[in-house]
Amino acid sequence: MSRYPLVPIAVGVALTGALLVAPLATAAQTAPNIPVANVQAHLDQFQTIATNNGGNRAHGRPGYQASVNYVKGKLDAAGWTTSVKSFTYNGATGYNLIADWPGGNPDAIIMAGAHLDSVTAGPGINDNGTGSAGLLEVALAISAADLAPEKHIRFGWWGAEELGLIGSTNYVNSLPSTEKAKIDAYLNFDMIGSPNPGYFVYSASGQPAGSLELQQVLEGYFRSINVPTELTSVGGRSDHAAFARAGIPVGGTFTGAEGTKTSAQAQKWGGTAGQAYDACYHRSCDRTGNVNTAALDRNTDAIAHAVWTLAGEGGGGPDPDPRFENGTDVAIPDLTTVESPITVSGVSGNAPSDLAVQVSILHTYRGDVVVDLVAPDGTAYRLKNSSSSDSADNVIATYTVDASSETANGTWKLRVGDVARYDTGRIDSWALQF
């Protein structure tokens, strides 16, 4: 992960009614368990490469090119179509490795990436051998499954991330606007095996419309294995930033870098409170022993789950469950009630008994906030009450509503009221998943 300051990220245009994901996974589409031992074997190779090449895998150094060659060789043998894109930075040649899995709709691309370079101080096994190795092993699992996705799958391994996101920015900037428009989603995996790990999912707040779906897919996986997560705003510190600036929905997972684990997080996740998630961040001790195997295993499986879910499978599977989103900000002034609409169309019959309402409300005192879902006929369903003892920030949650008595088509509204003085906020985005 880059040490560089946050880079401003433009918010994409709201796509009310836009569908992002492919059909929900059937048994045939379920992602396989990714053996963590295989991922560790790739990390061993990255360590050997660094050891044999001056102790690092940094941009412009022989260890980086050897890392590219290793990953490319594995992908080529597994039937992926690879290309190496070169760029120049600081007087040295850098490389991005792009890999495409044959098949899928070329106008609807699910992309995932990880940076492959280290800092010059060390071999960079957690940062970011872990993301690179996890992504590689998922690519090999796709090959082993002979996956026939509905959407096209593309993976990227980026160069010179540690010098300021150079490789990924070069790649995105090199794409014509017509090619950028074909990328439906970009998932980023930068540090997924920190030794004192947190379980963080990239927040969709402030990101392009459609990012909430990626956040929910990743959160859903961790819920399925009973691992609690927290949302994190990675900002411009990793390779999703260039994709976000291009208006492409982004998401990802992260196990923490130089930040300190709190007591509450240690109770929730284990590990040691008061210590960094990765005390070897950007240091020579970021070696193979600097990886938490359980975190690496869970996050690699999360990559596989997200790719399988988002790309779907061709061959006449079930129709997708419709999802409608409004990503337009609506200010919530003090002691004021506001509404944000979503118009639903093309859905037959009534809404389901388990209508999912995905809400991202940014507010400085969530206890002041009352939230209702208003059906097209005006019926209000209470999602959240106010509470004077709830002093946390923000309301970022998914609520389930029995809306089976309501006609699905029509204009639904999220009604948010601020019922106490002093604090304010905004509706950042919300969505209905039928």
Residue numbers annotated as active site: 161
State both tokens at 377: 């006929």
Element (H, E) at 49: helix 36-51
The Cα–Cα gap between 32 and 386 comes to: 42
Q: Which two tokens stand for residue 422?
A: 């002093």
Tell me how far apart the alpha carbons of residues 421 and 140 are, in angstroms, rounded to a whole number: 55
* Amino acid occupying residue 19: L
Contact by Cβ (8 Å): 20, 150? no
Going by DSSP bridges, is the β-strand pair 183-189/250-254 parallel, antiparallel, or unpaired?
A: parallel
H-helix or E-strand containing 397? strand 395-401
Bridge-based pairing state of the strands 337-344 and 81-89: unpaired
DSSP code of residue 118? -
Closest CA relative to residue 350, chosen from 412, 433, 406: 406
What is the H or E stretch that residue 414 is in? strand 410-418
**Residue type for 71, please?**
V
Which runs of consecutive H residues, i.e. helices, occur in 318-375? Answer: none
Rounded CA-CA distance 87/170 in Å is 7
| Residue 264 CB burial class (10 angstroms; 0-12, 13-18, ≥19) | exposed
Contact present, 117 and 161 (Cβ < 8 Å): yes
CA distance 278 to 125: 11
